[in-house]
């Protein structure tokens, strides 16, 4: 060791002696170079013209940097974020099966999106679904699509939106955890993406969609980052799944505590971090709207964590870790539609409400109705998404986001506290649409899949666990 | 020879081990077990669903000793494992027919 | 499965047949659009005026993208980073309780910051504390605050600084791990934030603060990213807590090995990654100063990991994983105040010193004095922060950061090797201030909390563990 | 060891003394200026001149933000990403030892890079290795190096490239997992970095390197983000190591299942996330090329996960989680050289091929030949890297990246499907070079290290595990 | 007194515990074990390398009871642990010489 | 019938299992235990604080066999578990009163 090391050192010095020579010429300042040196001969007008392009590029560079990072953050929400959050909540024998459901969606939804999903959502078409102009991503390249985001390549927009299409179905998996066949899950999700997610996303975010607030929708619904599109559709579909599949064997008599709150904790934290990409990224640029949405997101998560914890403390005399992290997630869910429309103090209020409400859903309502929403996908995402969508109509203000304008370009009132009571009704309509689509779509799909492949694993497989029965593996092999 | 099986509180384990060492018992086999008895457990609550845990972590010591050492060993355990509270555990004594040291195939008391 | 697949394929083709029609019109190149097309009629002056605003926006977009990402990174340092680092180091029965301490601070400090914390630190006021001009974040919005960061929305600055206010108290929790009541911790931390963190941060970073190096301070102390504000205050307070609370039951006779070095490893890596947000983000823009701080941060971490490992190897004949990751953290701590002032080779030296020194603190000094700083919050953050703050006075150079200027705007010497010996004294004063504030403040608060709620958990609760006794949960339920 | 240590310290101080000198003079403060108020008195020309600098700064701010984030992401790939991916795959008794191998490389390679590594790779020199002009990072500062990246500080470029130099040797450790001495690994890696990585990286990416496609290479090989430089060198060296060291005790009779697929899952997801920094970051700016590379990366990973899973399903009747995540990694490996050259549909194809191929390598070929590439470093990185490098020659198109130009600046065909069949041959040459260098270099180094310190741990240490025998620790201490 | 050692399916544990409670057996010590027997295991495949797991998770109950209670306890276990499938497990009965309650040093049947 | 309890090195487990299979012993129950004996442990150091681990991982096999098979089983274990180094473990033999197969309530040797 010693000899070698000395040798190395010597060698290094030797080489440095041999070649140290001229070297570091790298001197001429080239920083300005990028902008082009002001050649005195070129007319000023030419220079300005060139500058305009360069400024656009510079702007795009900042916004694109931001949006690519946000896309990566939203990917991180599904894997490892959500996979861990859910994986920790199940019993040890189902940890891999549960995480796999999120992971395979990463793969499947990506391919579907590339082939036709993006087109169905974001190409203009009918009020309910886009057409196939972007089939195989035809025409989706470096040029921005100014309808959606004028300062970033459309490819960036496409891949960012893809991450939303991935996590939405993944959220549902919490409802049927520990008992659904892997093959059934795969078929279900392919259909669900096509029949529920794509239409809903088109209606709210697609050009000409029925509920689109800025691009020609009939009922302008506010949904900044996916309260209706992501959380209500997934949460309500989750409830339908839980009811259709029935309870896990032994539920609720047998204890089914989380096998590792530690994993869930990691997952929840990564969800929180990733959610900045989700919500602040939905500004689609790195301007001050992103900052505002970032702040609202963080504040709502914090307030909701406190809300849930306080509710638990009052009821059980203790605040649990699972409660605190669940509360944070509930707050993140509820602020999602509102993030780019509300001020920081409103965000605190929304978070607080969501934290307490979702706690009650999970700890009281679920018990009363007796359905087995195993990991509370409905209790958190369905309920949190719904209340968030409605409160968006209450707390949205033009000071944060002047989304509605009159003919002269003056900002109009946005939400109830801004003076536009109507918006609450619009929000309500959006919520109802999402609920109805989710319920009907999911029921139809479940029926189909049930007939085709069967939904539930066999009883002995459920006892053995998904890891072994569905994937032939075990999560942990801790014996020496 | 006798097998002494002692189920004790995990927090007393180090002290018991030491005491056994002092009376000359070195070999033992230890396992993590969970005990159910009069000691009442605790309640855990996960997202509002309570459940009662009445299996509590205990440490099980198993040692096979020559008959003449059994008493001393039991006394050593009693002295150190006792806190006087419910849940301190139990000691069981059983007759063992034979013992073999795998390394050199010694048998009987010599193997212990 | 096979049939379904075929069906799907068929369906897809069908749809594509029905709608493949015209579509992809998306042709007009809109890339330049962002910059405004050079309408020849507009006067050049107008164009240039417009450009200036657009350039400012473009610049802001890059800087804001960076700072929002950095804010997310610093959040990730606390959760899951620090929570895992600490959570792995305790015994299994305390893992959730330990992680919860970090997590609840995320929530609590956020709310305090929104209500008055930001104002107390960053509004101008006295030399020791800001006034309440920003109460409830009044006036903190999209417009930059040029005193602190001219190119990003003040909201971004606010939320970025919030992340520092969160992690600082979280660092302290390492000292009293495994024995403090959760309720006591909550009260302690609320008071600590108010009485120790806010004043110290104002003094060093707030406009008009006593130690502020650029905004009118009396004793210009260099603290790029929080050597005094974050690490000394937390590390020294940690020591006070450890002494006041006394040792854990059984310490040091009973072995208390980390229950999962694996968790700590994940945590340490995430701390390293997040620390780029902490240090390079403290440039408050994405210019070359951020790059320089990034490099210094990384180099110090690497050198310190080697330093600690080498010291261990010499002493025990083995380099441990816990040692290597602890060393990296020590290096990150020590480079924090220096990151934006020193060159890369100096960063290596600072890291190396910190790695060896913190090893000695933890492995020798602690043992000699016999206090139970359970997870070495003082040994790493107190000691590392102190040595880093002092070495900043030694290694800071104007070539990296021309922070001091004479009347003509010429850069003046910064640190000792730059020719400004005085700076070492200034740094020393800053260090002393931080130590004194931390000691006095923490003692007072501990006394108050002890009287109000009692600091330590009951003996049987300590044996049972914090997870069950404080939160009614277990970290792992691995039985089938 | 001790003496050496002192020597190093001394040397470092000396160097820091010698080079602290003037360095790069921090371009005039442009922070506040960004908004620049149009002073009516200034002549328009002056305003435009100033704007040009500001535009360059704005552009740099976006690109630098992006590249710093990418550097952090690539760091995250090694730690915790790869460390967890590999750490989960070994038996419990080796988890720390395995993770430590990645971690210590973070530290060691960083120091080597700072001292001379960067210079050897990126300074111009011979066709095979750079010279020492950048020794101790002399002259590597705020100014961009326009040869490589005109819009970001060279320091950013340097630290970004460092992250590649770290992960490459770390990949090798999968081949000799569970049986190599820690000291031997350290020496091996120092030599390997110097003798294999630095030359190969210089040849492909360094100015004037033999295979450099744009900066004066003789055989223009396309390698966007490191198919040859990173994956082939590491994967092939891994195979050599596996053969040289021999099998683990008990292999293949004794079962050696992964001790925690859960850890590997987390690692794989973080690798996926980090890989965006790796591949999209290799655009070295935040423009549309980064977006394109980002999309290609994501698509290949998804397709490969499906490919591997489908292959497994066909063969075993089940798709495993380990298979899906291994597939994703294989796709990421294969797309690495191609990421900035191919369209999204090609990326899907490349991913699919890589997923199936690497599955066959690992599940069939390895078994047939009987070498013990413990964690399949060769099967995934060697095979995936090779197929990726070759397919880059097939699928690269000028529409994505007009890298080759004629004298008039018109884009020429790039890959086979673009009409340039020759490129496949160039790629082949690049691949062969990488294989040869890796085989020869690694063999020589292994021999040296074997003689100097011995490669394998003693048999009883192998049984006891690396954690205890090499580091005196255990990964988990779960007993109360 | 007798020691009853029952190796059962983990999924039957709660039912067995309840049934034992009903016949008056409260004290027991539980451990996680793995069983090898006629029940065939399963195959796991990691990256193509198969391996057969023939050790399956079982729960072991140990309870020492006064002789007169042994039968009732065994019946309670049989009633609740039986599913009729291979792998249901075994019950073993052994004579125990003495039992001591650590808390108060009671001995014999009184200690149970 | 006899209960054979063998505490062995984990690394020998597969070989022992195979050897037992060959002499006709199929049913067994396995648990992870930690052993304390003459074999000296190791030292772990965490941030400079050393601590000695003198409990080493072992595997415990328990099998109840008809009296006539006991010898063969013991021999099989000895043959395969022995490495000749301290820490190879022990075998204990105890008399068992009865065995019951839960699945079909068979008793005695038939249940084994
Ligand atoms: N009859 C028994 N057979 C086996 N183990 C027993 C028996 N009774 C008690 N134990 C073990 O002893 C532990 C302590 O018993 P418990 O009744 O809770 O307290 P105490 O012995 O102080 O009354 C239990 O948790 C269990 O592990
Ligand atoms: N002779 C034995 N000694 C100890 N444990 C046994 C013995 N035979 C069976 N077992 C335990 O009983 C469990 C069930 O036995 P098995 O033969 O699989 O099913 P069955 O008893 O229904 O035929 C085994 O997994 C093992 O733990
Ligand atoms: N008297 C005993 N009672 C129970 N288990 C024992 C006894 N003696 C040894 N053991 C077990 O056997 C293992 C090996 O014993 P040890 O004394 O270390 O080696 P050896 O038997 O080769 O002298 C120990 O780790 C322990 O698990």
**Angle, helix C154-172 to helix C95-112, in steps of 10 degrees:** 140
Q: Which residues of E touch B55 (CB under 8 A)?
A: 30
Confidence band for A42, pLDDT divided at 50, 70 and 90: low
Confidence band for A43, pLDDT divided at 50, 70 and 90: confident
DSSP B58: E
Q: For residue E18, how far is its CA from the centre of ligand 1 (angstroms)?
A: 16
Atom of ligand 2 nearest to the CA of E88: 22
Whole-angstrom Cα distance, residue A472 to residue D243? 30
Return the higher-pLDDT residue of A457 and C23: A457
Minimal C-alpha gap between B83 and chain E (Å): 7
Give the pLDDT of residue C253: 87
Q: Where are the beta strands (DSSP E) in D219-304?
A: none
Q: Across residues B106-112, what is the average pLDDT?
A: 94
Q: Do C468 and B42 touch (CB under 8 A)?
A: yes
> Which of B5, B29, B108 for a ligand 3 pocket mutation test, highest count of atoms within 8 Å of Cβ?
B29
Q: Which residues of F touch C324 (CB under 8 A)?
A: none
Give the pLDDT of residue C221: 97
- CA C138, C141, C146 angle in degrees (round to 5)? 105
Give the pLDDT of residue F75: 97
Q: For residue F37, how far is its CA from the centre of ligand 3 (angstroms)?
A: 5
Instruction: Kindly give, in sequence order, each residue whose CB lies less than 8 Å from that of residue D29, ignoring residues fewer than 6 positions away.
Output: none
**Is E51 part of the contact surface with chain A (CB cutoff 8 Å)?**
no
Minimal C-alpha gap between B96 and chain A (Å): 29
Give the pLDDT of residue E49: 87
Give the pLDDT of residue C480: 56
Alpha carbon separation from D20 to C289, D157, E60, E65 (Å, rounded): 17, 21, 70, 81
Size of interface B-E (CB pairs under 8 A): 79
Q: Which residues of A touch E43 (CB under 8 A)?
A: 472
Give the pLDDT of residue C255: 87
A273, two tokens: 């971090």
Whole-angstrom Cα distance, residue D102 to residue D85? 11
Q: Do F31 and E36 touch (CB under 8 A)?
A: no
Q: Do A474 and E42 touch (CB under 8 A)?
A: no
Residue A478 confidence (pLDDT) above 60: yes
Alpha carbon separation from B65 to A141, B9, B109, B110 (Å, rounded): 80, 22, 7, 10
Q: Do E47 and D376 touch (CB under 8 A)?
A: yes
**Ligand 3 site, residue B27, Cβ cutoff 6 A:** yes
**Ligand 2 site, residue F29, Cβ cutoff 6 A:** yes
**Is E32 part of the contact surface with chain F (CB cutoff 8 Å)?**
yes
Q: Which residue of F has its CA nearest to E2?
A: F97
**Ligand 1 site, residue B41, Cβ cutoff 6 A:** no
Confidence band for A480, pLDDT divided at 50, 70 and 90: low
Confidence band for A1, pLDDT divided at 50, 70 and 90: very low
Give the pLDDT of residue C402: 97
Give the pLDDT of residue C3: 52
Whole-angstrom Cα distance, residue C335 to residue C226? 10
Q: Among D119, D110, D117, D129, which Cα is nearest to D202's? A: D129
Residue A17 confidence (pLDDT) above 80: no
Report yes or no: B34 and B44 within 8 Å, Cβ to Cβ.
no
Q: Across residues E51-70, what is the average pLDDT?
A: 95
**Ligand 1 site, residue B85, Cβ cutoff 6 A:** no
pLDDT digits (tens, 9 = 90+) for C380-425: 999 999 999 999 999 999 999 999 999 999 999 999 999 999 999 9
Residue A227 confidence (pLDDT) above 90: yes
Q: Which residues of A touch D11 (CB under 8 A)?
A: 9
Confidence band for A393, pLDDT divided at 50, 70 and 90: very high
Q: Report the Cα–Cα distance between both ends of chain C, in Å, rounded.
A: 31
Report yes or no: D349 and D416 within 8 Å, Cβ to Cβ.
no
Give the pLDDT of residue D45: 86
Q: Do A269 and C79 touch (CB under 8 A)?
A: yes
Whole-angstrom Cα distance, residue A232 to residue B85? 53
Give the pLDDT of residue D234: 98
Instruction: Kindly give, in sequence order, each residue whose CB lies less than 8 Å from that of residue C416, ignoring residues fewer than 6 positions away.
Output: C393, C394, C395, C423, C424
Q: For residue F105, how far is its CA from the centre of ligand 2 (angstroms)?
A: 13
**Is F42 part of the contact surface with chain C (CB cutoff 8 Å)?**
no
**Is B111 part of the contact surface with chain F (CB cutoff 8 Å)?**
yes
Domains and CATH numbers, chain D: 49-471 (1.10.3430.10)
For chain E, domain boundaries: 2-111
Q: For residue E96, how far is its CA from the centre of ligand 3 (angstroms)?
A: 22
**Is D318 part of the contact surface with chain E (CB cutoff 8 Å)?**
yes
Helices then strands, counting H and E runs in chain F, come out as 2, 7
pLDDT digits (tens, 9 = 90+) for A183-195: 999 999 999 999 9
Average pLDDT of chain F to the nearest whole number: 95
Average pLDDT of chain A to the nearest whole number: 92
DSSP E46: E
Provide the residue-wise pLDDT of chain D in tens; the chain has 480 residues. Answer: 455 444 444 444 444 444 443 333 333 333 333 333 334 435 888 888 899 999 999 999 999 999 999 999 999 999 999 999 999 999 999 999 999 999 999 999 999 999 999 999 999 999 999 999 999 999 999 999 999 999 999 999 999 999 999 999 999 999 999 999 999 999 999 999 999 999 999 999 999 999 999 999 999 999 999 999 999 999 999 999 999 999 999 999 888 999 999 999 999 999 999 999 999 999 999 999 999 999 999 999 999 999 999 999 999 999 999 999 999 999 999 999 999 999 999 999 999 999 999 999 999 999 999 999 999 999 999 999 999 999 999 999 999 999 999 999 999 999 999 999 999 999 999 999 999 999 999 999 999 999 999 999 999 999 999 999 999 999 999 985
Confidence band for B107, pLDDT divided at 50, 70 and 90: very high
Burial class, B49, CB count within 10 angstroms (exposed 0-12 / middle 13-18 / buried 19+): middle
Q: Which fold has domain E2-111?
A: Alpha-Beta Plaits (3.30.70)
User: What count of Cα atoms within 13 Å lies in the side-chain half-sphere of residue C343?
Assistant: 31
Cα-based torsion angle of the residue sequence A241, A246, A252, A255 in order, rounded to the nearest 10 degrees: -70
**Ligand 3 site, residue F7, Cβ cutoff 6 A:** yes
Q: Which chains touch D (3 or more CB pairs under 8 A)?
A: A, B, C, E, F
- CB neighbour burial string for A440-458, b if at least 16 within 10 angstroms, e if fewer: ebbeebbebbeebbebbbe
Ligand nearest the Cα of residue B66 is 3
Q: Which residues of chain C have pLDDT under 50?
A: 1, 4-41
Helix (H) or strand (E) holding B29: strand B28-36
Give the pLDDT of residue C26: 34
Give the pLDDT of residue D253: 87
């Amino acid at each position: 060791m010693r000899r070698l090391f000395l040798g190395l050192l010597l060698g290094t010095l030797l080489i440095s002696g041999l070649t140290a020579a001229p070297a570091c010429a790298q001197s001429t300042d080239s920083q300005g170079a990028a902008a082009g040196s002001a050649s005195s001969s070129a007319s000023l007008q030419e220079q300005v013209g060139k500058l305009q392009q360069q400024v656009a590029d510079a702007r795009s560079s900042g916004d694109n940097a931001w949006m690519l990072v946000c896309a990566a953050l939203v990917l991180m929400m599904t894997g490892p974020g959500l996979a861990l959050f859910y994986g920790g909540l199940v019993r040890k024998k189902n940890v891999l099966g549960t995480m796999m459901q999120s992971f395979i969606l990463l793969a499947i939804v990506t391919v579907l999106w590339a082939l036709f999903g993006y087109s169905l959502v974001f190409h203009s078409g009918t009020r309910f679904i886009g057409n196939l102009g972007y089939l195989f991503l035809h025409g989706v390249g470096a040029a921005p699509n100014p309808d959606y985001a004028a300062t970033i390549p459309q490819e960036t927009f496409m891949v960012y939106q893809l991450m939303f299409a991935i996590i939405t179905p993944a959220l549902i998996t919490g409802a049927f955890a520990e008992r659904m066949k892997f093959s059934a899950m795969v078929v279900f999700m392919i259909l669900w993406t096509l029949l529920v997610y794509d239409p809903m996303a088109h209606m709210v975010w697609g050009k000409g969609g029925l509920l689109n607030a800025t691009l020609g929708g009939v009922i302008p619904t506010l949904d900044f980052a996916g309260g209706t599109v992501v959380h209500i559709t997934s949460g309500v579909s989750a409830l339908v799944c839980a009811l259709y599949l029935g309870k896990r064997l032994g539920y609720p008599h047998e204890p089914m505590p989380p096998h590792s709150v530690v994993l869930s904790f990691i997952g929840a934290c990564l969800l929180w971090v990733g959610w900045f990409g989700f919500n602040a990224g939905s500004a689609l640029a790195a301007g001050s709207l992103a900052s505002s949405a970032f702040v609202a997101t963080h504040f709502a998560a914090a307030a909701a964590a406190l809300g849930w914890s306080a509710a638990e403390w009052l009821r059980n005399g203790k605040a649990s870790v699972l409660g605190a992290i669940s509360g944070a997630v509930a707050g993140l869910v509820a602020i999602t539609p509102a993030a780019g429309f509300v001020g920081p103090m409103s965000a605190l209020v929304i978070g607080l409400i969501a934290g307490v409400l979702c706690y009650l859903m999970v700890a009281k309502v679920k018990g009363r109705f007796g359905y087995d929403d195993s990991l509370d996908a409905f209790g958190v995402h369905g309920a949190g998404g719904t209340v968030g969508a409605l409160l968006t109509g209450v707390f949205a203000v033009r000071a944060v986001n002047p989304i509605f304008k009159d003919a002269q370009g003056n900002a109009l009132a946005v939400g109830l506290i801004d003076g536009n009571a109507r918006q609450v009704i619009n929000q309500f309509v959006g919520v109802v649409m999402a609920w109805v689509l989710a319920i009907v779509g999911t029921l139809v799909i479940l029926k189909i899949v049930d007939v085709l492949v069967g939904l539930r694993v066999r009883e002995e497989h459920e006892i053995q666990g998904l890891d072994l029965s569905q994937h032939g593996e075990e999560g942990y092999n801790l014996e020496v | 020879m006798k097998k002494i099986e002692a189920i004790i509180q995990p927090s007393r384990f180090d002290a018991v081990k030491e005491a056994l060492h002092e009376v000359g018992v070195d070999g033992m086999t230890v396992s993590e077990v969970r005990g159910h008895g009069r000691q009442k457990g605790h309640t855990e609550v996960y997202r509002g669903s309570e459940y009662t845990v009445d299996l509590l972590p205990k440490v099980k010591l198993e040692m096979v000793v020559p008959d003449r050492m059994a008493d001393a060993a039991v006394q050593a355990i009693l002295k150190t494992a006792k806190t006087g509270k419910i849940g301190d555990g139990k000691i069981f004594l059983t007759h063992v027919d034979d013992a073999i040291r795998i390394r050199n195939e010694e048998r009987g008391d010599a193997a212990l």
